[in-house]
């Protein structure tokens, strides 16, 4: 730790460095929120396009009773849906990466604070079992990354998984036999 203190410059940061740091965090958050709304908008547009294509195909089939349009419809829906799925996957990967960095930093900071308090109240070693209870809150807070991973998967990953299954006509209930309904 002393090596880092000696290597750090003694001059304060320039005004533009401070301004860039202040602007970067809100800009990143705004960009993330904008990406989320862009994905939602694209999902709605894709659903609208799929409905319009299905309506046109239905009208064409009733007019001519020809079936080659069905293949064309599936290709059109795939062409409209695949970019959305790729965008959603990239957003999910970006969220997971950023959450990994943030949760690692938060966990490190809170566990460090817990150990600092532990040593600050007079405990010199970790072998004293009667005072180990003070470390337990830090260990519990260390699981914040796992909770965030579950939240990101349920918010972004699960809908993406369901949409991919719908596109490829995969019935997950047939694959996982314990998921089948009796009746």
Q: What is the pLDDT along the chain (183 residues), one digit of tens a residue?
A: 445 555 555 788 888 888 887 888 888 888 888 888 888 888 888 888 888 888 877 776 776 554 454 556 677 777 778 888 888 888 888 888 888 888 888 878 877 777 777 777 766 666 665 666 666 776 777 777 788 888 888 888 888 888 888 888 887 777 776 655 554
Distances (CA, A) of 40 to 11, 14, 48, 50, 145: 46, 40, 12, 15, 26
Sequence-ordered list of residues with C-beta below 8 angstroms from that of 92, at least 6 positions apart, any chain: 152, 156, 157, 160
Domain ranges of the chain: 20-179
In angstroms, the CA 150 to CA 165 distance is 20
**The pLDDT of residue 102:** 87
The torsion angles phi and psi of 122, rounded to 5 degrees, stand at: 110, 0
**The pLDDT of residue 168:** 80
Model's pTM, two decimal places? 0.51
In angstroms, the CA 2 to CA 99 distance is 30
In angstroms, the CA 47 to CA 84 distance is 11
Sign of CA dihedral 50, 56, 59, 62: negative
């Amino acid at each position: 730790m002393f090596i880092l203190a000696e290597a750090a410059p003694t001059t304060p940061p320039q005004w533009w460095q401070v301004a860039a740091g202040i602007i970067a965090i809100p800009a990143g958050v705004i960009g993330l929120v904008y990406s989320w709304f862009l994905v939602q908008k694209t999902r709605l547009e894709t659903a609208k396009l799929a409905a319009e294509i299905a309506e046109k195909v239905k009208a064409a089939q009733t007019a001519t009773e020809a079936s080659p349009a069905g293949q064309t419809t599936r290709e059109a829906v795939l062409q409209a849906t695949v970019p959305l799925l790729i965008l959603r996957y990239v957003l999910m990967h970006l969220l997971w990466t950023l959450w990994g960095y943030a949760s690692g930093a938060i966990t490190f900071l809170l566990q460090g604070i817990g150990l600092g308090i532990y040593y600050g109240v007079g405990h010199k070693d970790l072998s004293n079992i009667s005072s180990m209870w003070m470390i337990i809150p830090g260990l519990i807070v260390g699981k914040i990354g796992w909770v965030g991973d579950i939240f990101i998967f349920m918010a972004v990953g699960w809908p993406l998984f369901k949409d991919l299954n719908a596109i490829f006509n995969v019935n997950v209930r047939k694959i996982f036999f314990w998921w089948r309904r009796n009746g």
